[in-house]
């Protein structure tokens, strides 16, 4: 079984920072820390992506078809209640609040079932997620594992690739997907290989990332299937004469027979089952983290919309689904307490904050008064701010009741399309979420909630990202780029100030160069420092293998070495890090920082796999609260 150090790290941190926040949609493997030890030790390797189990990817499908702001949070509530009242030996596989949900919000907020609106889901079903194959039967003993269904493998009618022309081989779609695709031929009762160029030439194509296992899980969850809704879109677009096609991008690995059986229910094409490497490359290239997902590409196989799944299913008239700007998604009208407010009035505001919240969400109820205070203080300082409430309430009556407590504007409750598109575009993963936009309606930060709690007076408003951050204040983006962290909790105040100045100089230079050339790996780094001992510094020390510190350790001679500053370069995406050697530990200077980063760029910096935190060590870190976001 692969080491889950990355997931443990993110679990520790997110457990700490999300303790007072309802998770709607983070990938399931990010913050299920409380059950990591018991769950992942028992889970067998199975179909997945890059070593990730299928469960880690399926969270998306639930949010995609279930009514994002309602049914999943309700399931989370019931799951939490059941966990509290259930002995540990009987609950190791009960879903936590993060078992379901994804970065792909609901495409029909009322929920779907078989492609149709399902009132039960719209109200917020409390149906639990499907039990795992090792779920306890209530007696404290594990239920017997059901044998996996085995599917027959039928011969495929093959295409003779040697007869393909150079034009067919060099076609943009052939380069993207390979020279051939497959489709089920009902007359022959078999899968038939066809030339990619022949069937996709001149067409807008949706690359549909999904798996039969996910569809089955959705059905068990009573969340509704994905396939019927997409088939309806497919039929409608083709009936209109639009040059539209779909290609199924199966989850790599698994059973070939299962793949063939699933294709019988699809009217479109698919990547061949044995194109495993090309499929893996596609999942990686398009950064597919959740299922289902869809990437819409144009006639030249160039990406039109990386978040096409939501667009296709909620905006059926929007073919070919060019991405909308945030201003377009927000629409032309907002609501105040007593009137409609034209978007033109709001457009004048330099900072617009979108507040995703709901009355049924307890963390939202706790945060809203704090946001009201901060809002009034910021505006009293003459700073140009407006907030727009994006409601996740289950009924208009509840929406009105909750909105009455707010002094700002709101999106019209009935504009569900705008709500879903905004959640998709801004990757809203939990409630409450506060996203700040500048006057061009570009994102300043999606971590507004954290900053309101950290800076309630608005001294640093509007909280633009900084080149260098103290790790307990903000670790925004630490998972997106290689990140350099300076641990100096044991240093004197004077030494800390000098080292922060050295880090600041490098961070500002690298950040400025990265803005000019975002894809240039030579300057793609984040910069942080740990000035005080905190939950976050402890978690990162743990995976880097650094000795933990306590406040009293500053005065112990035996801890002199542990108190020395250390530089750690973390690459969370690759689960590796570099820790500056103990013999080099000492005051960190600008030259030292530059040399380390240059070695990383040149590939000469030795990197080691993350250390797996001990269960008691990780649990201690996970028990604390804080603010920040991976």
Q: Are residues 404 and 291 in the same domain?
A: no
Enumerate residues 6+ apart whose C-beta is below 8 A from 304: 204, 296, 297, 298, 320, 321, 322, 323
Segment 311-322, tens digit of pLDDT? 999 888 999 999
Number of domains in the chain: 4
Could you tell me whether strands 430-431 and 409-410 are parallel, antiparallel, or unpaired per DSSP bridges? unpaired
Partners of residue 194 on adjacent β-strands = 181
Helix/strand/coil percent split, the chain, to 5: 40, 15, 45
End-of-domain residue from the set 323, 344, 378: 323
Q: Are residues 295 and 169 in the same domain?
A: yes
pTM of the model: 0.70
Structural domain that includes position 57: 5-123
Neighbours of 404 (CB within 10 A): 8
Q: Are residues 199 and 219 in the same domain?
A: yes
The verdict on residue 459 lying in a domain is no
Q: Are residues 66 and 112 in the same domain?
A: yes
Give the span between the Cα atoms of 504 and 528, in whole angstroms.
9
Give the span between the Cα atoms of 524 and 212, in whole angstroms.
38
Closest C-alpha to 415, from 391, 439, 444: 391
Give the span between the Cα atoms of 47 and 70, in whole angstroms.
30
The verdict on residue 416 lying in a domain is yes
Q: Are residues 280 and 193 in the same domain?
A: yes
The verdict on residue 147 lying in a domain is no
- Cα angle 140, 32, 364 (rounded to 5 degrees) comes to 115
pLDDT at 373: 98
Q: Are residues 180 and 284 in the same domain?
A: yes
Q: Are residues 274 and 165 in the same domain?
A: yes
End-of-domain residue from the set 284, 301, 323: 323
Q: Are residues 227 and 306 in the same domain?
A: yes
Closest C-alpha to 405, from 367, 433, 378, 450: 367
Which stretches of the chain drop beneath a pLDDT of 70?
A: 1-148, 223, 253, 555, 583, 612-630
Contact call for residues 204 and 303 (beta carbons, < 8 A): no
Q: Is residue 250 classed as helix, strand or coil in its secondary structure?
A: strand
pLDDT at 214: 82
Closest C-alpha to 603, from 459, 482, 432: 482
Counts of helices then strands in the chain (DSSP H, E): 23, 26
Q: Are residues 50 and 179 in the same domain?
A: no
Give the span between the Cα atoms of 508 and 517, in whole angstroms.
14
pLDDT at 590: 95
pLDDT at 574: 83
Q: Are residues 445 and 513 in the same domain?
A: no
Sign of dihedral through CA atoms 446, 624, 86, 46?
Answer: positive
Q: Are residues 262 and 183 in the same domain?
A: yes
Give the span between the Cα atoms of 173 and 196, in whole angstroms.
7
Q: Are residues 72 and 35 in the same domain?
A: yes
Give the span between the Cα atoms of 324 and 331, in whole angstroms.
11
End-of-domain residue from the set 399, 423, 454: 454
């Amino acid at each position: 079984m692969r080491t889950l150090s990355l997931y443990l790290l993110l679990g520790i941190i997110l457990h700490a920072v999300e303790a007072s926040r309802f998770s709607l949609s983070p990938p399931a493997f990010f913050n299920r820390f409380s059950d990591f030890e018991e769950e992942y030790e028992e889970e067998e390797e199975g179909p997945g992506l890059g070593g990730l189990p299928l469960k880690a990817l399926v969270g998306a499908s639930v949010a995609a078809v279930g009514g994002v702001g309602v049914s999943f949070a309700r399931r989370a509530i019931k799951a939490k209640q059941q966990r509290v009242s259930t002995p540990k030996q009987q609950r190791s596989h009960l879903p936590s609040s993060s078992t379901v949900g994804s970065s792909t919000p609901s495409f029909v907020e009322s929920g779907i079932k078989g492609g149709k609106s399902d009132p039960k889901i719209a109200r917020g079903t409390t149906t639990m997620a499907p039990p795992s194959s090792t779920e306890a039967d209530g007696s404290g003993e594990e239920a017997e594992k059901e044998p996996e269904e085995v599917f027959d493998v039928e011969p495929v009618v093959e295409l003779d690739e040697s007869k393909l022309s150079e034009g067919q081989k060099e076609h943009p779609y052939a380069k993207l997907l390979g020279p051939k695709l497959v489709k089920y031929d009902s007359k022959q009762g078999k899968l038939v290989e066809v030339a990619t160029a022949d069937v996709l030439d001149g067409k807008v194509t949706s690359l549909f990332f999904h798996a039969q296992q996910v569809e089955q899980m959705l059905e068990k969850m009573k969340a509704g299937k994905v396939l019927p809704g997409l088939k309806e879109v497919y039929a409608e677009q083709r009936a209109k004469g639009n040059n539209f096609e779909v290609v199924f991008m199966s989850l790599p690995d698994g059973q070939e027979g299962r793949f063939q059986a699933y294709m019988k229910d699809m009217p479109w094409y698919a990547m061949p089952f044995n194109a495993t490497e090309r499929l893996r490359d596609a999942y990686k290239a398009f950064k597919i983290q959740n299922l289902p997902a869809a990437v819409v590409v144009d006639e030249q196989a160039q990406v039109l919309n990386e978040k096409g799944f939501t667009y296709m299913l909620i905006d059926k008239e929007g073919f070919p689904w060019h991405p909308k700007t945030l201003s377009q998604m927000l629409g032309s009208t907002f609501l105040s307490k007593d009137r409609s407010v034209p978007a033109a009035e709001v457009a004048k505001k330099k900072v617009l904050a979108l507040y995703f919240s709901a009355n049924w969400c307890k963390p939202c109820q706790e945060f809203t008064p704090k946001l009201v205070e901060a809002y009034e203080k910021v505006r009293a300082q003459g700073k140009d701010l407006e907030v727009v409430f994006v409601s996740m309430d289950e009924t208009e009556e509840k929406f009105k009741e909750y909105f009455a407590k707010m002094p700002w504007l709101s999106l019209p409750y009935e504009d569900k399309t705008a709500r879903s598109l905004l959640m998709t575009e801004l990757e809203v993963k939990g409630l409450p979420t506060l996203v700040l936009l500048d006057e061009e309606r570009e994102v300043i930060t999606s971590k507004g909630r954290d900053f309101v709690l950290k800076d309630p007076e608005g001294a640093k408003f509007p909280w633009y990202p900084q080149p260098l951050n103290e790790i307990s204040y903000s670790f925004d983006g630490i998972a997106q780029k290689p990140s350099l962290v300076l641990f100096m909790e044991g240093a004197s105040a004077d030494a800390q100030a000098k080292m922060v100045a050295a880090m600041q100089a490098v961070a500002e230079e690298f950040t400025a160069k990265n803005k000019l050339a975002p894809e240039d790996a030579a300057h793609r780094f984040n910069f942080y420092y740990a000035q005080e001992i905190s939950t976050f510094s402890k978690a990162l020390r743990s995976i880097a293998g650094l000795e933990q510190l306590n406040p009293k350790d500053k005065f112990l001679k035996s801890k002199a070495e542990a108190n020395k500053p250390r530089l750690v370069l973390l690459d969370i995406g690759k689960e590796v890090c570099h820790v500056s050697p103990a013999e080099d530990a000492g005051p960190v200077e600008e030259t030292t920082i530059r040399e380390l980063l240059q070695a990383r760029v040149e590939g000469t910096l030795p990197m080691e796999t993350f250390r797996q935190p001990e269960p008691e060590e990780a649990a201690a870190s996970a028990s604390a609260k804080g603010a920040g976001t991976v």
